[in-house]
């Protein structure tokens, strides 16, 4: 690139540069590592300008980018297992985290556990792959949501009244307790769902941008999730689809997915019930997420539990940094031997 020779000089080391920075190295330290490991003579200002330019061209950067292939693959498997286990466990799946990992990694059948639970795990893991593919697209479409629904409901029997991969055809709702009384709360009318989901997707896609700050990512997740489950556009599988698609703006911000752990299942479900019962049934032109204290309490819950998902990312970045540090130490020794 004319006037900026360091751009082409640093391009072969792009992933290494981002890995060092993500591991907490300063621009000065990153420049020093590059110069020592690869015989370069770049300044920290050159590294800063290079990363600024590349981030602008890339648009966004996923949480696993910049890692060595083996570290990245291990991290993705770890995140997928936790995400799948906790999301399916919230819906009643009894496979443990260890059993979920065995099913996904080794294709094992866990003795005494129903085939349906194994299929739920496979389906959710496939849905995660679909989410990663959607990140490169400019918007989410109804067909994308139908694909996610087909994935998480892959074990369902064919039923015209309960379609898989299409909007619900019958009314649905949930039962809870309010003021000491059992209350039935209806979700959106099936006839209103196409209109509501057109509106929901319009708002979701309009706000679909890189949420760099963690607080922005959590807020975007909650708004998307709560609006989606108020509608409940499918006959079943709405929670799993909501927890998947609401993570798209989170992932676009370079963050790992927000996962609701099964240990907080009761708190999570209670908050959703409290909110939905308080704001009432959604109609064609209702606001998706009217203000209510339960919204902020769900944000607080997710902010706390997100740390469990962030920990593996930190460990992976640290492992990558240690590997680069060891490589930097070995390179001069090899050069001396070759000399």
For the chain, give every domain's residue range.
Answer: 1-58, 69-316
Min mean pLDDT across 13-17, 257-261, 332-336 is at 332-336
> For residue 112, what is the enclosing H or E element?
none
Phi then psi dihedrals of residue 175, to 5 deg: -110, 135
Min mean pLDDT across 24-38, 167-181, 318-332 is at 318-332
What whole-number distance in Å separates Cα of residue 78 and Cα of residue 309? 10
Residue 267 is predicted with a pLDDT of 97
pTM of the prediction? 0.80
* Class of residue 9 by CB neighbours under 10 A (exposed 0-12, middle 13-18, buried 19+): middle
Catalytic residues, which ones? 232
DSSP state of 92: T
What whole-number distance in Å separates Cα of residue 95 and Cα of residue 116? 11
| Residue 307 binned pLDDT confidence (cut-offs 50, 70, 90) | confident
Closest CA to 173 of 158, 194, 188: 188
Instruction: Count the Cβ atoms, other than its own, within 10 Å of residue 159.
Output: 11
What whole-number distance in Å separates Cα of residue 84 and Cα of residue 126? 10
- Does the 69-316 domain belong in CATH 1.10.3290.10? yes
- pLDDT digit string (tens) for 71-105? 999 999 999 999 999 999 999 999 999 999 999 99
What whole-number distance in Å separates Cα of residue 47 and Cα of residue 26? 10
């Amino acid at each position: 690139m004319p006037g900026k020779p360091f751009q082409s000089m640093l391009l072969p080391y792009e992933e290494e540069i981002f890995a060092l920075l993500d591991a907490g190295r300063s621009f000065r330290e990153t420049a020093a590592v590059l110069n020592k490991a690869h015989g370069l003579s770049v300044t920290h200002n050159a590294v800063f300008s290079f990363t600024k330019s590349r981030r602008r061209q890339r648009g966004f950067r996923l949480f696993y980018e910049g890692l060595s292939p083996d570290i990245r693959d291990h991290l993705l498997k770890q995140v997928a297992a936790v995400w799948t286990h906790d999301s399916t466990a919230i819906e009643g799946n009894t496979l443990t985290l260890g059993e979920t990992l065995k099913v996904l990694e080794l294709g094992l059948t866990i003795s005494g556990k129903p085939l349906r639970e194994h299929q739920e795990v496979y389906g959710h893991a496939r849905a995660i792959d679909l989410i990663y593919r959607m990140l490169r697209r400019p918007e989410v479409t109804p067909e994308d949501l139908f694909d996610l629904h087909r994935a998480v409901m892959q074990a369902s029997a064919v039923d015209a009244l309960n379609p898989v991969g299409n909007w619900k055809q019958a009314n649905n709702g949930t039962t809870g307790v309010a003021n000491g009384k059992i209350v039935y709360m209806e979700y959106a009318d099936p006839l209103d769902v196409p209109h509501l989901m057109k509106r929901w997707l319009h708002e979701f896609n309009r706000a679909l941008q890189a949420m760099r700050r963690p607080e922005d990512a959590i807020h975007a997740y909650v708004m998307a999730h709560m609006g989606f489950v108020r509608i409940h556009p499918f006959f079943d599988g709405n929670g799993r689809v909501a927890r998947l698609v609401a993570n798209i703006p989170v992932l676009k911000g370079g963050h790992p997915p927000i996962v609701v752990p099964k240990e907080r299942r009761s708190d999570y479900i209670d908050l959703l019930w409290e909110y939905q019962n308080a704001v009432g049934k959604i109609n064609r032109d209702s606001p998706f997420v009217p203000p209510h204290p339960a919204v902020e309490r769900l944000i607080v819950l997710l902010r706390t539990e997100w740390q469990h998902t962030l920990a593996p990312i930190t460990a992976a970045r640290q492992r990558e940094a240690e590997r680069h540090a060891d490589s930097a130490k070995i390179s001069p020794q090899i050069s001396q031997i070759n000399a």
